[in-house]
Structure 1
Amino acid sequence: MVKVHGKAEAERIRDELREQRRPSGPVGKAGQVGKPTGEGAADIVADGSDRIELDPAEIADALKALDERQQVLEAHLADARELGTPLADGKGPVSVPMRRSFARRGGAEEGGVQVALESYLAELAAFRAAIGLVAEQHVRTDEANASAVDAVARGTDEQ
Structure 2
Amino acid sequence: MPKTKFQEFIFTLITSGCIIFIMGVYNVAIHTGGLQAATFSHALHSFPLEWFIGFLCAFFIASKTSKYFAFRVAKPTDRPIFIILCIQTFTVCTMVPLMSLLGTIESSGITSNLIFIWLQTICLNFIIAYPLQILVVGPFCRFVFRHLFVSASQENEGKIEHEMEQQGFAE
Per the TM superposition, whether the score is higher than 0.5 is no
Larger Rg: 1 or 2?
A: 1
Tell me the TM-score normalized by structure 2.
0.24
Tell me the TM-score normalized by structure 1.
0.25
Greater relative CO, 1 or 2 (CA 8 Å, sep 6+): 2
